[in-house]
Amino acid sequence: MVQEGYAVDLHVKVLDEAVVERAKARGLDALVYAPHFTRLPEIRRQAEAFSDDELTVFPAREIFTGTWQQRRHVLGIGLDDPIPDFITFDGAMRELARQDAAVLVPHPGFLNVSLGLDDIEAYAGTIDALEVYNPKQLGHHRDRAQSFTSDTGHKPFASSYAHVRGTVGEAYVTFAEAFDDVTSLSAALKNDAERTLFHRDGISHNFRRAVEWAHLGLENTWGKFDRLMLQGTEPTHPDQVAYDGRFDDVKVY
């Protein structure tokens, strides 16, 4: 049962009617929707289409910085302008700071897709929160993330990081206040609003974690081959006309 407060799953990758139904059944008030390789206008359109009086979907972008071999992910909430993938980490952080977006660090210290302690300390003034729990993290990943928050003083957060519908609502955060729009959520995160972190446990939760790990394996084998070899240029590549060449100086491909 969801605890008292405004309950937000702060990072999901999937969104459709089944996701909305599950989020409501879990007692959530809001989702933050940040799919991979999807442009901000489309994310906003989908977020608006699936929001209603019972559930708000906030648009966000998990930005894929660097190359496939040296990639670091950052989550921007409250963006004014689109930011592409495949740009340098420094370039992405400068642009997030320029837009005064809330900057969250998903899965810190996780495999080769995450920010390490040196990265977090270098941009301590830009970063607003570190993720200390999602179902994909193993115990040592969570311990490392917790140690990062202790070392840097950043606020923690939790999310389902759901790539599979059934994982939505497995981890979430509650706030004392409700948020009317993504700007107010972003402001709360930037101002270190008090929050309480929750996650489910038990056999069902462990099953959901296993399903997410299976999806991770698929995503990093066939999914990567499909993107690299079979598909055209990603919609979020900095060469796309939508970005008007603004990121040519920081693109990595």
Give the tokens for residue 121: 């300390």
pLDDT, residue 227, reads 47
46 close to 18: Cβ distance less than 8 angstroms: no
Backbone dihedral region of 237: left (phi > 0), alpha (psi from -120 to 50 degrees) or beta?
A: beta
pLDDT of residue 228: 44
Backbone angles phi, psi at 170, to 5 degrees: -70, -25
**Consecutive 10-residue runs of the chain (253 residues): their mean pLDDT?**
85 98 97 96 98 98 89 95 97 98 92 85 97 91 93 98 96 97 98 97 92 72 44 83 95 92
- CATH class of the region 6-243: alpha beta
Confidence (pLDDT) at 160 = 97
Write the CA distances from 243 to 59, 215, 251, integer angstroms: 19, 31, 11
pLDDT of residue 220: 54
Q: Provide the token pair at 227.
A: 């993107």
pLDDT value, residue 217:
57
- Say how far apart CA 202 and CA 162 lie, in whole Å: 18
> What are the residue ranges spanned by the domains of the chain?
6-243
What is the strand order of the sheet 129-133 is part of?
155-158, 129-133, 102-105, 71-77, 56-66, 30-33, 6-12, 171-175, 195-199
3 state DSSP class of 170 = coil
Residue count of the chain, please give it: 253
Letter for the amino acid at 170?
E
DSSP letters of 35-91?
-TT--HHHHHHHHHHT--SS-EEEEEEEEEEE-SSSEEEEEEES-SS---SSB-HHH
pLDDT value at residue 222: 41
8 A C-beta contact, residue 86 and residue 64: yes
* Local structure of 155: helix, strand or coil: strand
pLDDT number for residue 223: 46
